[in-house]
Structure 1
Amino acid sequence: MTRSALFAAPLALAAGLFALPALAFDVSAMSDAEREAFHTEVRAYLMEHPEVIMEAIQVLEERNQQQQVAADDSLVRQYADAIFDDGFSWVGGNPEGDVTVVEFLDYRCGYCRKAFEEVKKLVEADGNIRFIVKEFPILGQASLDSSRFAVAARQASGDAVYEQLHDALMAYKGATDLPALTRLAEDLDIDPAPILAQLDAPEVDAEIRKTHELAKKLKVNGTPTFVFDTQMVRGYVPLDVMEQIVSEEREG
């Protein structure tokens, strides 16, 4: 909250408290002496009841949150095709599921890693969730190296290889140069040759660029960011909350 908003909230509230009758209250019509007396009364009231300031701030924050939710819902509707059916993002879980969960993630994001096992539990336990991964590297070169390797793996070797490598990268903390990522693939019994051959293909960078362009339209600037059918949730979401959101989506 800005400093101006902090002061505006209690003053607006105080104006309402002392406006009796409200329709007849006009600060601009006061004389200097009347205005000074009013300010003194407002200050005295707030000093005696400082909790009013916190109540006003809470109301303002709740109002801002409601506006953010409404704006996010509108963005999800506007860009639904690109979010849920871009033609290239990996689709896991149940492809025919009745609820779709989309995650914008970065392999080097601590909260993405924290959410990883919980998302996996959600999808596996539910059995009727369509899960989509949006490769959204934003935390530097190591993030980009990992995403490019994963995208190249999917393009060159298919969804099963991508899923295996994706899961490994979510826990991987080593170097992300080509020799290191090649060893990671080999440790998973994945043939790295097709991946390395695809790595410099323009289609690899094109996928990541399109996801970044979509994120910009959705005003997504952090990971993880989730979309649950009709609603966007920014930041880490624990398993029980995800379950509740999925249930709400099913109920309509």
Structure 2
Amino acid sequence: MRNTLFTALLALVFGFLGAASWSLTGLADNRTRAYLLDNPEILRDVAQALSEQEARERLSAIGDELFEPFPGVVLGNPQGSKVMIEFTDYNCPYCEASLADVQRLVAEDPELKVVMREWPIFEGSEGAARMALAAGMQGKYREFHEAMFQFGPTTPEAVEAAAQSIGLDMDRARDDAASEAVSLELVRNLSLARSLGFGGTPAFVAGDFPVEGAVGYDRLKELIDNADS
């Protein structure tokens, strides 16, 4: 398997360099192989480029559906010209760690629209995700999103306390959280995440580039700026 991957990367390297006429068998045995082994960053760069290309192809196949938010479930400017997607889970410590980065990006750029995708993959997260979508339907998604992280693990009591703390109409919120519309949104988000090849939260999309993990403010800003260029 390792030799197969090496040969495939060799093909990509020399395909990019315009040396397709060279013998792959020869490449595996001569000075070129030694050179690449001595300079593994070339293979890493090609592997990364291939991964990024595949991610962009998956993103292109999804189309505009990814960028259509559930009613009210947006951070920043709902009409903003710059768009970033975030898949999140309230029991995910890396999502909580990324909260300040996203808040900073929104505060610094009045044109930034962050479409939030509730993706409850941790045990006990679904109730909080449902209430977050219900809060969006009352125009208070941001408030609930921030409060839920402050209230800690997503016990039913914590979810209720977070919702009450931001002044939700609780009877309506409970009904909305249990609604078919919210159920369908959670299924849609799961499908979108899988289509993009995401394996966990947080996960982001800016422009034509998906990225997974708590990558930090600088990386997210770079993605947004590149998408705008």
* TM-score, normalised by the number of residues in structure 1: 0.73
Q: Given residue 90 of structure 2, which amino acid in structure 1 is its aligned partner?
A: Y
1:54: Cα distance to partner?
A: 5.8
**Contact 1:89–1:134, Cα closer than 8 Å, also in 2:** no
The equivalent of 1:237 in structure 2 is 215
- 2:145 matches 1:166: yes
Q: 1:150 aligns with which of 120, 126, 132?
A: 132
Q: Given residue 191 of structure 1, which amino acid in structure 2 is its aligned partner?
A: D
**Contact 1:104–1:135, Cα closer than 8 Å, also in 2:** yes
1:86: Cα distance to partner?
A: 5.0
More displaced 10-residue stretch of structure 1: 207-216 or 187-196? 187-196
Kindly report which structure 2 residues correspond to 1:30-179, keeping only aligned pairs within 5 A, or say none: 53=37, 55-56=39-40, 58-86=41-69, 88=71, 90-140=73-123, 142-155=124-137, 158-159=138-139, 161-177=140-156, 179=157
Unpaired stretches in structure 2, ≥5 consecutive residues: 11-20
**Cα distance change, pair 208–24 in 1 and its aligned pair in 2 (3 A):** closer
Question: What CA deviation, in whole Å up to 9, does each residue of 1:128-172 have, x standing for no partner?
Answer: 1111101111112x21121012122323xx22x222111111333
**Cα distance change, pair 174–242 in 1 and its aligned pair in 2 (3 A):** closer
**Cα distance change, pair 144–54 in 1 and its aligned pair in 2 (3 A):** farther
- 2:192 matches 1:214: yes
- 2:168 matches 1:184: no
**Cα distance change, pair 25–208 in 1 and its aligned pair in 2 (3 A):** closer
Number of residue pairs the alignment of both structures matches: 218
Q: Which has the larger radius of gyration?
A: 1
Identity of aligned residues (%): 24
- RMSD over aligned Cα, in angstroms? 3.2
**Contact 1:89–1:132, Cα closer than 8 Å, also in 2:** no
Unpaired stretches in structure 1, ≥5 consecutive residues: 13-21, 28-38
* TM-score, normalised by the number of residues in structure 2: 0.80
1:75: Cα distance to partner?
A: 2.0
Name the structure where helix makes up a greater proportion of residues.
1
1:102: Cα distance to partner?
A: 0.7
**Cα distance change, pair 189–88 in 1 and its aligned pair in 2 (3 A):** closer
